[in-house]
Amino acid sequence: MSNEKQKQIIVTGGTGLLGSHLLLELSQKENQIVALKRSTSKLTTIEKLFRWHFNGSSKEFEKINWVNGDIADIDSLLEIFTENSQVYHVAGKVSFQEKDKEQLVDINIKGTCNVVNAALEKKIQKLCHVSSIAAIGRSSNNTLTHEDIPLDNASKVSAYGFSKYEGEREVWRGIAEGLHAVIVNPTIILGQGNWHDSSARLFHQVYKGLKFYTNGTNGYVDADDLAKIMIQLMNSEAESQRFIINAENISYQQLFTWIAEALNIKPPKHLAGRLLSEIAWRVLKALSIFTGKSPLITKETAHTANSNYQYSNAKIIKETGYHFKSIEETIKETALYFLQDLKSGI
């Protein structure tokens, strides 16, 4: 019998939308799975997701060893990482609120630096780092954006985009120091999750009666597809590369129409052009001073909603041969789960 230690799978950010779907996939393939969580994190949402996918069974969920750890604390990472580890670094902060700039730096840059340094010190097998499409420059001539376009105008980049770019630079620094790593740059991730957080909020907002749509276009990917691709990349010879992970480029009008139809409600009918969007974010920002609540629309999101962003998935398809699920199918599956949650109160 071989004395070789069985590999250990470590996931940061396991309670988030992507992290939970990654753990769903890993639980069907791996036996030694460690998921980091903060001491204050609750597992209710992810456990419910597991039961949904596995017909009420908790067997797969119980495979996961949940440990308290924080990417802001390198000592906790050094206690968990081992030489036979594969590390999926999913944890990150997504925000376009001005008040969150410091958190974006602490989590997306300093936190990633800690993950990279711990990985180097422990000589892990391989790291899969979840960056963002926001860390890649945009094509300026109506062609598809690809992995080699640099983020060369920091003054026009959101604080979130800049933090993901700098976090990705930490991974490239680790690669230069001998780290085996691969980077994924997903577009907007859709899937079942916390309906008050991340892109899952779209379903809640549309259900409440969204009246307006914008002229913009963006890229989308199913959370399960992204998780499967990450696992495939981790177990391949691919490294020292980044890959855009995008299933389809879809207009916001089409996206909201599909969501509304899947939720059995009327889709938004009114176009919110650039002028109305510019007014909206300014008004909501002013109101937030009095309400203390984060504005739903910010300067960055208003600009994005009226921009035509389209992304190439040619590189990842060439590397893996993966066939993406249609976004319309993703929306139908997610809406079904949302409506079930609605009956139990969300």
CA distances, 276 to each of 141, 210, 266, 306, 332 (Å):
26, 15, 22, 11, 30
Q: Quick check: is 340 in a domain? A: no
Contacts of 138 (CB under 8 A, 6+ apart): 145, 149, 309
* Kind of pairing between the strands at 248-251 and 217-222: antiparallel
If you search the block for the tokens 């899947």, which residue do you land on?
262
Q: How far is CA 308 from CA 141, 311, 337, in A?
A: 11, 10, 30
Domain that holds residue 318: 8-194+218-248+309-324
Q: What is the CATH number of the domain that holds 40?
A: 3.40.50.720
Q: Is the dihedral of CA 226, 102, 110, 70 positive or negative?
A: negative
Q: Looking at the domain assignment, is residue 141 inside a domain?
A: yes
Alpha helices in the chain (DSSP H): 17-26, 44-53, 74-80, 101-104, 111-122, 159-176, 201-209, 223-234, 252-262, 274-291, 299-305, 314-320, 327-344
What distance in Å separates the CA atoms of residue 229 and residue 19, rounded to the nearest whole number? 13
Average pLDDT of the chain to the nearest whole number: 86
Which pLDDT value is given to residue 276? 42
User: Which tokens belong to 75?
Assistant: 């000592």
pLDDT confidence tier of residue 305, bands split at 50, 70 and 90: low
Residue 269 lies in a domain: no
In a domain, 278, yes or no: no
* Residues forming beta bridges with residue 219, ordered by sequence position: 249
Number of domains in the chain: 1
- The answer to whether the beta carbons of residues 252 and 217 sit under 8 Å apart is yes
Q: Using one digit for the tens of pLDDT, what is the confidence trace for 162-208?
A: 999 999 999 999 999 999 999 999 999 999 998 888 788 889 888 98
Residue 131 in contact with residue 183, Cβ under 8 Å?
A: yes
Per-residue confidence (pLDDT) for residue 304, from 0 to 100: 60
Q: Is 94 inside a domain boundary?
A: yes
Q: What is the pLDDT of residue 130?
A: 98
Structural domain contains residue 20: yes
pLDDT tens digit string along 236-277?
999 999 999 999 999 988 998 999 999 999 988 877 655 444
Position 199 in a domain: no
pLDDT of residue 300: 57
Q: Is residue 266 domain-resident?
A: no
pTM here is 0.90
